[in-house]
Amino acid sequence: MKELRITLIGDGSSDKILLTLTKWLLDDLYPQLPVYLEFADFRFLKNPPSKSNPNVQISEARKYFPFDILLYHRDAETTAISSVELRKQEVLTTLSPEDLEISVCVVPVKMMETWLLIDETAIKKASGNRNYKQEIALPPINRLENESNPKNLLHEFIRNASGLSGRNLKKINVNKAVHLVADYITDFNILRQLNAFKIFENDLKKVVDKIIQHD
């Protein structure tokens, strides 16, 4: 099959992290399928499309970041799994039938960082101190989606693992380190125990399978 082009529309540049996770998932599901993943960075446009209008965002993405499959990221913003379907419908009900066929919503509970709180070694490496001796108390997988602020928790783990203090601690680029956490995780399989991730995987697989069957 030809290379499958996948474009991600997110809330901000930090959402590029989801491409790393998606690439792992596709390689696991379709090891022989060539894929090219790209983030739709609208910041270079004179008039970036509003996040409140998915249709315009998708239209602009199609022009500048051509795709076979469109990923659209929204955070659930609550710890309720019901909010995943709610967020999905907020996006999907606005799309044209053509776009609906090839679009997949990515909706973590509660936010994207939830899916990175799974690998102690990756966090230590990302902090710049891979030899950090203390244990990082990651939330158990069965309670991970109950974390009220996974972003702050991940940032705290990174700072603590760095072993730095004072001015040196303030110099840590935590946002860059978060990207590194994703890069250092080699196996996201544990996320398949989370309802929100299972929904994403199933939705993605449906669209990919449909494209493969018609190729």
Residue 118 and residue 138 in contact, taking contact as beta carbons nearer than 8 Å: yes
Amino acid at 9: I
Per-residue pLDDT of the chain (215 residues; tens, 9 = 90+): 689 999 999 988 789 999 999 999 999 999 999 999 999 999 889 899 988 889 999 999 999 999 999 999 999 888 888 899 999 999 999 999 999 999 999 999 999 999 999 999 999 999 999 999 999 999 999 999 999 999 999 999 999 999 989 999 988 999 999 999 999 999 999 999 999 999 999 999 999 999 998 76
Residue 192 and residue 183 in contact, taking contact as beta carbons nearer than 8 Å: no
Determine the Cα–Cα distance for residues 129 and 133; give it in Å rounded to an integer: 9
70-115 pLDDT, tens digit each: 999 999 888 888 899 999 999 999 999 999 999 999 999 999 999 9
For each of the domains in the chain, give its residue range(s) and CATH number, in order of start. Answer: 4-109+194-213 (3.40.50), 113-184 (no CATH)
Alpha helices, DSSP H only, in 47-133? 54-64, 82-92, 97-101, 120-126
Q: What pLDDT does residue 26 have? A: 98
Q: What pLDDT does residue 1 have? A: 62
Q: Are β-strands 69-73 and 103-106 bridged in parallel, bridged antiparallel, or unpaired?
A: parallel
Q: What pLDDT does residue 12 have? A: 80
**DSSP letter (8 states) at residue 47:** S
pTM: 0.94
Q: What pLDDT does residue 16 have? A: 92
**Assigned token pair, 168:** 């040196």
- C-alpha 71 chain-centroid distance: 10
